Structure formats: structure tokens, C-alpha cells
A and B are shown apart, each in its own frame.
Chain A
Amino acid sequence: MPPADSTPVTPSSLLAPAVSLQGITMVFGDVLALDRVDLDLIPGTRHAVVGENGAGKSTLMKVLFGLLSPTAGQVRIDGAPRRLHSPADAIALGIGMVQQHFDLIGPLTVAENITLGSEVVSGPFLDRAAAEAAVGRLADDSGLAINPAARVETLSVASQQRVEILKALYRKARLVILDEPTAVLAPSEARDLWEATERLASEGRTVVFITHKLEDVMAHADFVTVLRRGNRVLSKPVAETDPGELAAAMVGVPGASASVHATDAAPPRTGAERPVPVLALRNLTVRGQRGEVAVRNASLEVRGGEILGLAGVDGSGQTEMIEAIIGLRPSETGSVMLREEEITHFSVARRRKAGIGYVPEDRLHRALVLSFSLEENAILGRQRDPEFASGSGFLRLGAMRAFLQERASTFDVRGTGVGKSARALSGGNQQKLVLARELSRRPAVLIASQPTRGLDFGASAFVHRALRAERDRGVAVLVQSLDLAEVLSLSDRVAVMLGGAIVGVVSHAEATEESIGELMTGARGA
């Protein structure tokens, strides 16, 4: 059901872009994230935006959705320049976006989530039946099958994604942005999604999607735009291009293969030099937040002097497994071994003392006390070390300050004024502080969860260098990331999780985006 105010599909409107971005420039600090990028989006088509990590794809989409205000350039809708100050402006102009991380309220039903903000009412009461009927009609019309009365938290990731798309459609979106829509989907679910986007386009809507996968571009897009380091390097109908040309445009060299990853890595090691596992999991089973079996009988070894990458679709049990290693989550059966010692029943403090360093995924809630001063954060977990605590239980404030200064200069943490809180630091500097703290204990095992999430290029590179340096020092490093390119570029070996089980451990030489991707989605058995 096309919304009442949608542009009728006529030959003229097919040619004229409904939405066009002109000369979009985005500067963050001294970093040029987008450099005069143009993008024309034509109704009734599907437009793929591709590029490597850090190319500016998400930034461009955030500008289009009003999440970011561009430094220069303008957004024209139906020919008229528009200022998008917030997503509310974008929604009012018929633009919807489905982010990678969904914005849904778990305990509410599908219909309640979709109608949130424009509820169907009857007098002072919510008209639940009418809302569900409206959502049901919308779902039928758009081919996005869903039960309007189901509670969102009971739905699969793919269904939640459908809810997000329906939410955009319910608000009469003429243009739907999908940020890496298949990253969280199994292959069959992805097929359903692509069918739905086809239908949306056939109704005259515009679909813009970000992707890494060139085969998706070739199969499911009408137009493609390639970004490289903030510049638009190619934009043309898909029919007039081929994967080779796109891959070359992405990496900037003609003839590059389709699976090139950005990397400044030194050649990875084989891991065979130090065959002794420092950290070993033996048949570990762990329950998740809701009591479900989140990790199933997992066995894994991390050797000294290697980086073991942990890949998997979000929610495959990586988080729970790492929490069980660090001691934040009890393990049901199996054991965690550090060197030869079983530490399964150690407290977090004892495990850390025994030599486990941890860079948590959730920097703001797990890694730092945001309201604490920087020197307080710098010793978090070490506050009982004689270095920082006197025998009578008082903190050595002078030692804390000196320690912060030393750590900040070694790890290039900027903005460490006296008395500043951790909240005042940028994400990159926060992460450097966390690394500086964790590495100060000279751990035998370093566990880093999503270590570069939300960081800019420079900070990411710094974090990667630090992880490699630890590896070279002989530390057993376990890196979990949802960013497959990151896992591939860092790891000496890659372990893949799917549905709570470790479905494969692949050496660096054999690890490609394809081979790991197949393991991640279950397309190929171990």
C-alpha cells in the first residue's frame, strides 16, 4: 500500500531523483570523513552504497537521516533544499532508516512498537485491535510477514528487522535506508529481506542499503555508489559494472580481487612457535541472561604469542563465553584453564590477579566509571595493589597521579587534565586509557571484545598496534569482533561461533571472508 502522499510512479519521476545529496562534506575535528559527496536516489530503485570500513558510508547515511549535520553541502528533496536537524525532520520528509542496532522495546508487541509515537487511539484509550489490524494490513501489503500481536523480545533478529522496516513504512517512508541489513541474517532470511526490498522498489519507494558484499550489490541493487576514504569514486547503474570494477574502486587499485581487506598487519604468525596453550576452555557450557544455553560445549585454546580472532554473527554466544572466561558469568559445566591451573571457580579479582587482562565490549559501563577521575579510572581493579594503597587502607593519591601521567604519555591518551572525569574523554582516548590500564598488569592472557567499536581510524589503528605488540610479547590474545575485516586482519587463527557452539577454527592462511562467512551463517559445516 503506497502511502497517500507518495510520488506516483511515472516515467518522469523515475528519471528525476526524489532525494539528492549534493557536495556533502563532513569534518570531525581535523578529520575529513566525507569530501564533497554527491548521491542521487531515484524513486522505485534500490541503491547500494559500498566501501571499506571507514570509507564514510555510515556517515553519509547519518547525514541523510538527520543524525549528523553536514559541514557543507545540502540535501534536496523533490528538488527543494531541506535542512535535516534530526531524525524527526527526516521522518517527516518521508525518510526512514533501519540501523544495525535496532531501536525496539522488547516487552511491547510488534504493533505497539510500530505505532509508537503515532498510536491508534479510541478516546483516551489505545485501540489495540485497530493498531494490530493496521499493522497486519501493512505487513501483508509489503510482504513483510509478521504477527502484530507478538512481543518483540520473543522474535528472531530477522523478524525484529522486519519490524524496523515496517516502522519506517508506517510513518510513510518513501525512502528506506538499511545499514548492513544482512550482517545479522542467515542466508534464507537474507533472501526474504531482498524480496521485500524488491517489492518496496516496485511500489515506487527508494531503498538505500550499505553493504560489504559485492554479490548482494550485483544481485539486488539497481544503482551502486562506491565510497573510498570519504570520496565518491564511482556511481553508476549496476547493469553497467561488474564486481571487478567495484572491488578496484573500493580499494583504489584496478584488478584487485573482491575480497581485499584493509590491513597494515605484519605477516601473521603461524602460532606454532609457542604450542603451549595459555588459556584453554574445555567443554564449556554457559547460560545466558534469560537462562537459555548461550554457549554449548565449547572447547578452545589460545596459545602464547598468537592472536585468536573470535568471529560470529551477533548473539552467537561470544559475549557469554568471554564473560565466563573473565568470571562475570558462571559456567554451567566444563572448565576454564589458565596455563595448567583450573580457574573455573575463581572470582573475577582472582582471575585478573592470575594474569587475565580484559578490554570489555561496553566501554561506558564495563570498562570505566565515567564519573570517576582519570587517575581513579587508571587504577580500577588495581586499587589494592601496594603501589596504590598503603598498609592502612589509604589510597596513595600521588602514586595514582604519577601512574596516570606515565600511562597517558605511553599510550598517547590526550585530554588528561587534572581532575577530569573519564566522561570528558573521546571514545578513542577512553579506549587507550582502558588498554593502558589492562596492559599495565602485564597479563598472560588479554581478552579484547570489540576493541575498536565506535573508534575513528587513528584510534583503531593504535588499538590494533597495541594488540599486535602484546602478541609479539608472547601474550595469548583473544579478540572478539563483529567486524569480520578486523578479525581477518588481526588474527593468526580465527574461531567461529554459531548458535553457542564453536563451529570451526581456521588458520590465517585459510581464513577468507567467504570461508569464515559460511561458517558464521552455517552455510558450511566445520
Chain B
Amino acid sequence: MPVSAQVAPPLLEVDGLHVHFVTSRGVVRAVEDISYKVGAGEVVAIVGESGCGKSVSALAVMRLVAQPAGRIVGGRILFEGRDLLTVSEDAMREVRGRDISMIFQEPMTSLNPVLPIGLQIMEPLVIHLGMDEKAARARAEELMGLVGIPDGTRRLDQYPHQFSGGMRQRVMIAIGLACNPKLIIADEPTTALDVTIQAQILHLMKDLSQRLGIAMVIITHNLGIVARYADRVNVMYAARMVEQGTAAEVFREPKHPYTIGLLRSVPRLDRPRGQMLETIEGLPPNLLDPPEGCRFHPRCALAIDACRADVPPLVAAAPDHLSACIRTSEVGRLARPAEAIRAEAATRASDASPGPLLEVRGLAKHFAAGRAAGSWRSDHAEIRAVQDVSFTVAAGETLGLVGESGCGKTTVGRVILRLEDATKGQILFEGADVTNARSGDLKALRRRVQVIFQDPYSSLNPRMTIGQILSEPLTVYGLARSRTAAGERVAEILTQVGLFPYMAQRYPHELSGGQRQRVGIARALAMQPRFIVCDEPVSALDVSIQAQIINLLEELQRSLGLAYLFIAHDLAVVRHISKRVAVMYLGRVMEMAGRDELYANPRHPYTQALLEAVPVPDPVAEGRRAHKVLAGEVPSPLNPPSGCVFRTRCPKATEDCKVVVPELREVDAGHHAACIHL
């Protein structure tokens, strides 16, 4: 036991917590026997994939598990020595917001849309501290300053929809801080935010927690965030705790096969790029009917018969480091990185084709600004979503298009797909101008150019079976002469994407997120395209599933010679899959270069800031990095800054940057950047 733990009891001690959800299909054991401690002023992370029970275990601390289905059926939650599960509802209400605050994932929906921000911040002050209106308002103004919202006094009277996502999350933090709590529970606080904003928010939280001595529980799936900010880590899998320890320990030498797998399946910016990602095969279990013994054994490469028998207890694997695996002592020896995969180094299909497959020249897309409700003439305002974008993609190659939300990357994809018409510029596919292709030409183009969408949940029609979804394009384009032929082809593509032919009978809701995304890929493949626009294809998926999908995309590229335009906000994923990368900001390309060159030697200040903002899953490396946080937010594309669009946030900006629109020019061989200071 560490010395500190002997001196004072922990601030929060969760002991043997069990939470059940009663559903019509049975009892879901969402949290089973979870124990962890949080010391005063400590930052503790709870990590796991979606559905592992990490959020529920945190909500249970606040006794806010969704009623009436959710029930806390066992365990103790000791806060300053008092068991919160036994106090009255009213006493619990007094703890909430006063001693323990919570910050939620979705800043867009977590604030009440019809109440002013000021009221929402002042509420806990009035309720818990009995402040009068005037004192509460003064404190609210102070809090707005503390969380870095400029012009806080005026903005207190505004409503949530008048704030950006990042600013709303700051408001949530202000609410959380209002009564000087001892503990803040942050449930995926930055998952919905862009990388640079994520860095700002996390930095703010860490800084405030240090300055004010507030302990924090961060619930996240992002291992980089854990490495950068947490003191201690708790890893959950399928409702159980599988590993616990200090962040340094766990990242240096993970002991549980699941943690090891998790760490290996994330593409990383701080390591050389491997040929293929290692994945954890299979899916997390259904908690209605979890496997016997160790929950992880069906997916574990090291599983032995004994793993199926009993639930492994958390045992000390090293000082202050617990792991729930019966082979803990052998794991280090057994779980070597699979050299075979790395050595596979199959030559990528980089057949030198004569011309580019796709060429985009000076592309621009402007949207008429949505008229404000009630205004009756259009204000002729334009959103310049994309401006002067040019690039090429060769056959069999992947171009990564990366940037924060609103940078226009998705619009570029949609214009290439001809789902939107270009305002200016040209799109050439296989040498032919398809910018304005109509009817027959467009139909022909659709066969060659396909798309994979981000959200596997909403992009498949819930009333159609997988078979119907996949055979529809075959019939529409006359690729299958008969129903039997279509059925055979569907079976073939399903196998190709790692699903089973019998799944053609299923409906989308019967499949998991990863499986649905495979169906999305299969739907694109049905047309036998040469080029696929992948619009954030893995961002809605869990880490272990994400790796499987990325590997699948790479495999298909090798075997079918596909070219991808890979649109994503995750810099590590883009690096992993792309041959060349273009970085966009506010509608323009800031930098474009070969993957290794761009990541090793970023030239544009924006690219540098982006790479800086991404936390890497290694506390040691994180400790060495100077965290320069990019200030400010992305300006509105309705009214972009003059000259260089990045100048308002750029550390190198000068007066000249206001005047000159920097051209994308070659700064090194094959390395283009748009900055006048290079």
C-alpha cells in the first residue's frame, strides 16, 4: 500500500459495486463487482469500450442510474467514509453538485436549451450554498472567467444554442466547479469535440483540478487521454474490472491480455507505422448472457481451459498493479507482438499507373447560408465550405483528408461523389471531366466511385434485410441477371468483408456496430468500384473494432486494387492507412505531403498544432511533451478571416497574413504547404 493511502482514507471508495438493468429480455448485469479508490486531488481514469459499464459505474456514484430499469443491487460507495448508497434521497441530492459534480459527454444536449446559461450556472449556488441572486451572479461571472469564456458577463444571459460545442463544455465545467466540489466525474468529456478543442478542455480541467485540489474521475475510451492526464487507471471489460494500477505502470507493462490488445490495436503517432494493426478478434460479449469464467476468454489468444472455469480475481501482478488474469505471471512472456503480422509486409498494390485515377482542380463549394427562420429575403450570405482545393489520387492509393469538424473535408467527399454540385473547379475521373456529369454518365460514375459512410447505425435502412440492401444496387445497375445470381453475389461480398452469407437474412438492428460497418463496406463493394470515398468510416466504432475495419479496408485495397479518399479527424488512423495526407482547415488545404514526411516533418503551423494536440497512449512520452494548446476556436465559414484563414489562431501570424491568401506550394520535394512564412 502506498504511504498516502495509510495516512488518509481515500476520498471515494467504490467497493464491490453491482448494477443491474431489468429489461424485457432479461437482466443485464451492467456492472459486476467493481471496486476502485480515488484519493483527494487525484486524477483517476476508467477505461473501456462502449457497453463495458464504465459510465454506469460512474452514474451509480451519483445514484443517477437511469430509473426504473437500473438498480444498484450491491456494494458500497464510500465518499469521505460515508456510504452514499444508504443515505436518504435528499441527503444524496445535497451531495450532488456540491461535493461531487459530473460533466457529461454531449455538450450539445447536456444543457437545457430553453434556460439562459447564467441561470444554469447559478442554480447549484442558490440551491446548495443559499446564495442570493446577486451573489450567485457574481460567482457565475467569476466562473465564466475561470473556465476561459470571454465576455462572460454578457454571455450569462445567452442560451446554449448561442455557444459552440467547446464553449458549452466549458459552461458544463463552470457548473461543475460552482460549489467547489471535492470530486468531479467527467464522462467522456471531450469525445464529441475536435482535437484542438479537446486539448483545450482537458488542459483546463487538469489545470483547475491541480489548482483547486479537486479529484477527478475521467471516463474515456481514449487511451491517449489517460496517458496524458491520469494518475491511476482502471480498465473495464464486459462489466468487470480487469486491470488496475498507476498510469505509468499500466502503460509500461500492461498485465491483462485485454489491456495489451487494446494498446496494440490503436494506431499510434509515437511509433513507427506497422504494416497491419493487431486486433482483438471477435466482439465484446452480450451482457444478457456473458461467457462463463473470464469474460475475455473467447477473444483471448492466451486462453486455456482454466479460463472458462472460474471468474479470475484481481490479484497483484506488481506493486500497486492488479490484474484479473490467471496467467498474469506468464503474460509478459507469452504476449509478444505478433512478429508474423509485422513481417508480412506484403507489397502494397502501388502499381505505377500512367495518370491519376482522380484529379480535383481548384474545387470550391459554397452554400447559401440557411435563412434565419422568419427572415424573408435571403441575405445572400454564403458559407464557403470548400475553397480552391486541388489534389490527385492514383489507382490503388489512399489519400487521407484530415481536419477538424467544419473544415470542409466531408463536403469535398460529397462533391466528388456528385451528391453536391461543385461551385467552381473540376473533377476528373479516369481522365474524363465528371464535374457536371448527368444521367447516363453519372450512373456510370456511380459504378466506379462508391462511398462508405460514418454512421453504421443510420446509414442502413432499418426495414430492409442486409440481403435486400446489398442486392438493390446489383438490380438497379443490372449487375445481376436473376435473383439467384444476386443472392450468390451477396453471399460472395459478405464473405469478402468477413461476414457470413446467412447474415443476408438479418436486419441491421440485429448486427453490432462493427458488423454494420462491414455491411456498409460490402454495399460499396457490390458495385465493384475502383475508388471509394470513406467518410469517417471508423470514428463511430470502438478501438478494437476500429482496428478490424481498418485492416479489412487495407486488405481489400491490396486484393482489389482500390483507391481510397479516407476522410477522418483522427490523425493516427489517417497516418496508418494513407499513403499521402492532406490537412484541411476552414475550407482550404493547409498542407499536403507523403504520410511519413508529413508526420515526421510537419511544416504548416496548423499541422504542427494538430499533431501536438493528439495525446499518445504513453505517459512517459506524454510527460516529455510540451503541451502547447492551440488557443481559440475555428472561425465561422460564413465570415472567414481575410488572408490566411488560420491566422486568427496561428502563433506565427503577422500583419502580412491578413492580406495574402497563401498558396499551396511545394516547400520540399513532394511536400506542399500553404503558409507565407515557409
Does B bind A? no
